[in-house]
Amino acid sequence: MFPTATRRTVAQAAIATLSLLAVPAFAAFDANIEFDNTWLSSQKDSSGADVAGRGLQQGGRVEFNASAKAGTNGFIAGKASYLATRSGSASVDDMWVQVGTSAADIKLGRFEAADLFPLPRDVIVSSVGSVYRTNTLRGRFGNSNDGVGIFHAAGTLNLSSGLSFELGVVETDDKTTTKGVRPVLTYAAGPLTAKLGVEAIKYAGATATSEQKSQTGMGVSLAYKAGDFTFIGNAASAKTAADVKQSTVGLVASADSGLTVGVISGKTGSVKTNIGYLAYSMPLFDIKGASWTPAVSVAKTDGSDDDTGVKVRFNYAF
């Protein structure tokens, strides 16, 4: 027998699918396979013990998406993404509804807000340390510790051509769950895209009666498209719940041909972490919608051995 959670997820998928089939003029369905084969180098923690999860491993999922949209200037849209994973379990990725006009809209549910530290083709990005990327409140939240779904909303105002403002809100009464607000300003003109954002975070407390620690994080991202190449610069800064300063910068070059190279340098307190990654996405034979991506990443944290990972990912959209 499947676990109760798995049966519930499958039932939700069936209900959503049947609901969308009732409006075939607006419904859209697609599916894809993503399958990873990974090797991670041996790594030891501060006590000298081996870190779990190293060596050769395998993972993947089949994703089924159901989406619909009705209306033009005034519209309502929704999407549900269901995953059947390599581990034999089922889960939900996106699950949201969006309502608005061409001038403003609001999205509610399980989703990811604007990315303030984009890393194209991040098939594998090793890290033996913690680096901050202005994504604590970005999204895809599940349930709080009391089992209630965490409230997540993002309202967007299209201020002018190429200029928009997004305000994300994450809220729950559970004090053991992180929450807060996340405003992001985005400007896009020609080959340039710039994003500036802030996270006003209330970090999770240790118990239901703990006082939540308030901190503010900031992030900026600049992307420039030059011919067949896109160059991205990211920077982020914040403090942990223990008042330890975090700062991170990243530089990425990504080619339309499928090659991406990136370097990331982060610092938490006095501990530095340097990360490099490379991925090359290529068509698989002449099969439409199929590709494979070999990737490698190396990370180094002060006082620790190198953390090296190699991954080969297969994708097929059908």
Q: For residue 206, what pLDDT is reported?
A: 86
Q: For residue 231, what pLDDT is reported?
A: 98
Q: Average pLDDT, whole number, for the chain? A: 88
Per-residue model confidence as pLDDT tens digits over 150-194? 999 999 999 999 999 999 999 998 889 999 999 999 999 999 999
Q: For residue 146, what pLDDT is reported?
A: 72
Interatomic CA distance for residues 293 and 313, integer angstroms: 5
Q: For residue 125, what pLDDT is reported?
A: 93
> Using 50, 70 and 90 to split pLDDT, how confident is the model at 44?
low
Q: Is the pLDDT of residue 58 over 60?
A: yes
Q: For residue 10, what pLDDT is reported?
A: 47
Per-residue model confidence as pLDDT tens digits over 230-259? 999 999 999 999 999 999 999 999 999 999
Q: For residue 305, what pLDDT is reported?
A: 65
Range of the domain at 178: 4-317
Q: For residue 307, what pLDDT is reported?
A: 84
Q: For residue 20, what pLDDT is reported?
A: 46
Who has greater pLDDT, 15 or 90? 90
> Using 50, 70 and 90 to split pLDDT, how confident is the model at 23?
very low
Q: Is the pLDDT of residue 13 over 70?
A: no
Q: For residue 128, what pLDDT is reported?
A: 64
Q: Is the pLDDT of residue 27 over 90?
A: no
In the structure encoding, which two tokens stand for residue 136, read together? 């604590």
Number of domains in the chain: 1
Q: For residue 108, what pLDDT is reported?
A: 97
Q: Is the pLDDT of residue 45 over 70?
A: no
What is the phi-psi region of residue 12: left when phi exceeds 0, alpha when psi lies from -120 to 50, beta otherwise? alpha
Q: What is the mean pLDDT of residues 271-291?
A: 96
> Using 50, 70 and 90 to split pLDDT, how confident is the model at 1?
very low
CATH number of 133's domain: 2.40.160.10
Per-residue model confidence as pLDDT tens digits over 287-317? 999 999 999 999 998 877 678 999 999 999 9
Of the candidate ranges 9-13, 29-33, 206-210, the one whose mean pLDDT is the lowest: 9-13
Return the closest-CA partner of residue 193 out of 115, 250, 125, 133: 115
Q: Is the pLDDT of residue 24 over 90?
A: no
Q: For residue 149, what pLDDT is reported?
A: 86
Q: Is the pLDDT of residue 18 over 80?
A: no
> Using 50, 70 and 90 to split pLDDT, how confident is the model at 83?
very high
Rg (CA), the chain: 21
